[in-house]
Amino acid sequence: MKDVGFRCSAGGQLAIALLLLLIICWGLCPVPAAAAIVKKLDRDECQVALSGPIASGDLDRLKVLAPVGSSLCLDSPGGDFLEGLAIAEWLAGRNVTTVIGNGSSCYSACAIAFMGGSEWEQIYLSRRKLHVGGRLGFHAPYLIALSKTYSGPDLEATYTEGLQAVARMMKLGAEMGADGFIPERVMLKLLAAGPRDLYMVDDVIKARELGIELIGVPKATWTTAALCNACVVRNERRARTDACEQPFTSAMVAKDVVQTTFFGFAGEGSYYCSVRLSKKTGKASIAATIIEDEISRKDLEFTPLDDEDALPVGLKD
């Protein structure tokens, strides 16, 4: 792993301070006694699989079975946070792709491990894949299990362990870049969740925010609703609640090409979004954030849409 300088913004310091206050539970909450099952597979999508609760010792098994350039499929309810963090640290920059397949789930400590999937090419590049039929969720940390009584030494040891875990997460985040591990803006959303809640990566906006490639995406059918959904996606959910109720305009701009424009995006919902659909090829392209005067410009630049832009998203995280 490459050494880089560490800098933390005021917002980052706030996030870390909150995390430090809440992270104590990771040392006190019970972790599974049995280790996960780690085994080799002979599949195109993954050569190694980890399933079951994560426990101490799982990283040692991965080191033996997951070579550089391989893919690691994860299916785990969570477990030992520190072991999950250790797996993420080991994966970082090793050119190992982490995968959550169709029907698989990856929560809490598993989600932390999953985020380690990356390669090093002068910068860290994410190598994480989530099937649209899989589930990925980050637990919001909480203070302690209130049903138990803890001794002073227990609390002191856990506090020390929490400090060390925070330092390791900060170091990993600094090494992998602002958006390489878990971006600060996502960490703040996670901390805002309740102690028993999960921050679910359940739409394309959240996946892109975390550098996750969606797989198993069905071919898009570009209805009017899907076109406006793409506007919401490309504007990263910055849209008025009525933005998709009715198009602002819709007109033929070339043979077999229809341009549909919606209003209510970006800053204060005052921008437009135009989408062009070729009836001949079925392909769509977008000018996501424009002003009214640009709608009819012939030199307006449009960017191709992907099938995942049609996956339904809500206006709230």
Using an 8 Å Cβ cutoff, are 258 and 227 in contact?
Answer: no
Longest dimension (CA), the chain: 76
88 band by pLDDT with thresholds 50, 70 and 90:
very high
Burial 90-112 (b: 16+ CB within 10 A, else e): bbbbbbbbbbbbeebbbbbbbbb
- Count CA within 13 A, CB hemisphere, residue 198: 17
Burial of 152 (0-12, 13-18, 19+ CB in 10 A): exposed
Q: Is the pLDDT of residue 186 over 90?
A: no
Q: Report the alpha-carbon distance of residue 73 to residue 244 in Å, rounded.
A: 37
93 band by pLDDT with thresholds 50, 70 and 90:
confident
> Looking at the 3D structure of the chain, how many domains does it have?
2
Q: Report the alpha-carbon distance of residue 35 to residue 299 in Å, rounded.
A: 59
Res 28: pLDDT = 40
In terms of pLDDT, which residue wins out, 297 or 143?
A: 297
Please spell the DSSP secondary structure of 204-220, one letter per residue.
HHHHHHTT-EEESPPPP
Q: Which two tokens stand for residue 145?
A: 């299990």
Residue 317 lies in a domain: no
Q: Is the pLDDT of residue 237 over 90?
A: yes
Q: Are residues 165 and 247 in the same domain?
A: no
The lowest-confidence range among 85-89, 186-190, 212-216 is 186-190
Residue 3 lies in a domain: no
Res 124: pLDDT = 84
Q: Are residues 94 and 181 in the same domain?
A: yes
Q: Report the alpha-carbon distance of residue 5 to residue 9 in Å, rounded.
A: 13
Rounded mean pLDDT, 27-39: 66
Q: What letter represents residue 97's amino acid?
A: T
pLDDT (tens digit per residue) in 114-124: 999 988 887 88
pLDDT (tens digit per residue) in 8-20: 444 454 445 445 4
Res 64: pLDDT = 93
**Domain span including residue 119:** 10-215
Q: Tell me which of 215, 235, 270 is where a domain ends.
A: 215
Enter the pTM of the model: 0.85
Q: Are residues 146 and 207 in the same domain?
A: yes
Q: Is the pLDDT of residue 61 over 60?
A: yes
4 band by pLDDT with thresholds 50, 70 and 90:
very low
Q: Is the pLDDT of residue 279 over 50?
A: yes
The lowest-confidence range among 35-44, 209-218, 237-246 is 35-44
Q: Are residues 113 and 262 in the same domain?
A: no
Residue 72 lies in a domain: yes
In terms of pLDDT, which residue wins out, 5 or 190?
A: 190
Q: Tell me which of 188, 215, 242 is where a domain ends.
A: 215
Q: Which two tokens stand for residue 196?
A: 């028993």
> What contacts 161, CB < 8 A, 6 or more positions away?
26, 27, 82
In terms of pLDDT, which residue wins out, 188 or 282?
A: 282
Q: Are residues 165 and 228 in the same domain?
A: no
Q: Report the alpha-carbon distance of residue 83 to residue 100 in Å, rounded.
A: 18
